[in-house]
Amino acid sequence: MSQSHKMVTESKIIYQIRRHLLKNKYLKWILVTLISASMIGCNSQPISESNTNEEQTTVTEEPISENTEEESQAIASELASNTVSTTTELKRVGKDNYGYLSVPENWVNFKDVDVTIPIVQVSDPTGTSIITLNTWNTEESTAELSATSLWNKLEEEGVKDVTGAKVPLDIYSAFQVYGFYETENTILIMWLFDTDDGNVHYVSAESTPETIMDVVQLVESSFSLEQ
């Protein structure tokens, strides 16, 4: 089954999230990806896919309108208010093979009741901002196939503005997928990457539009497979 997927370059990803907070507009960069795959649905965690053949991809670009001075100032103001303070005390959390990252001292372990497999989850004291670490190893699964499966799952669930890109995370090249759960007022952002040992690694950040950039900053600035 062929599908068209919206994609953005790395430089547009976080910018679009910031812009989404202010204007809730759709992205302008389109990547048409033709993938024939047997997709298996997932709950809160990625799952493997099988019997998948990947074809060539082509990229088309549409112009993005420039921000007005007022819009640029609004975005700058939003970023300034949604930045983790450099004076915040941080602690290192995580687990071997799953990865590690630094979070505020008052963050706690979190348990998603819908997930039965071993994963690592931490959250702020309210349980609103959540970071999840997961990893798995199957012959049929790759980061790209898992990202595509997650993309399809989000769309099936009616998630708004589902978007993806190829981005760096630590020293790895990751597939990123994110979307907006409108009814829950939550943005979910996922990074998936492969390692040489055959493992697929999954990192996700979820929070409200007002605080998602804080959580993204924690992941992008501190995640590593090394403690």
Residue with tokens 């609004």: 74
Q: pLDDT grade, residue 181 (50/70/90)? A: very high
Is the confidence at residue 67, as pLDDT, over 50?
no
* Sign of CA pseudo-dihedral 197, 172, 217, 59: negative
Q: Output DSSP code: residue 224.
A: B
Q: According to the model, what pLDDT value does residue 15 have?
A: 54
Q: According to the model, what pLDDT value does residue 87 have?
A: 63
Which residue segments constitute the domains of the chain, with CATH numbers given?
Answer: 5-222 (3.40.1000.10)
| Helices within the chain (DSSP H only) | 10-23, 69-81, 143-156, 212-222
Average pLDDT over every residue of 49-64:
35
Is the confidence at residue 123, as pLDDT, over 50?
yes
Is the confidence at residue 170, as pLDDT, over 90?
yes
Distance in angstroms (rounded) separating the CA atoms of residues 75 and 131: 24
Is the confidence at residue 20, as pLDDT, over 70?
no
3 state DSSP class of 88: coil
Pairing assessment for the beta strands 200-207 and 186-194 based on DSSP bridges: antiparallel
**Residue 70 — φ and ψ, nearest 5°?**
-65, -40
More confident residue, 97 or 54: 97
* DSSP string for 26-51: PP-EEEEEEEEEE----SSS----EE
Q: Is 220 left (phi over 0), alpha (psi -120 to 50) or beta?
A: alpha
Is the confidence at residue 51, as pLDDT, over 90?
no
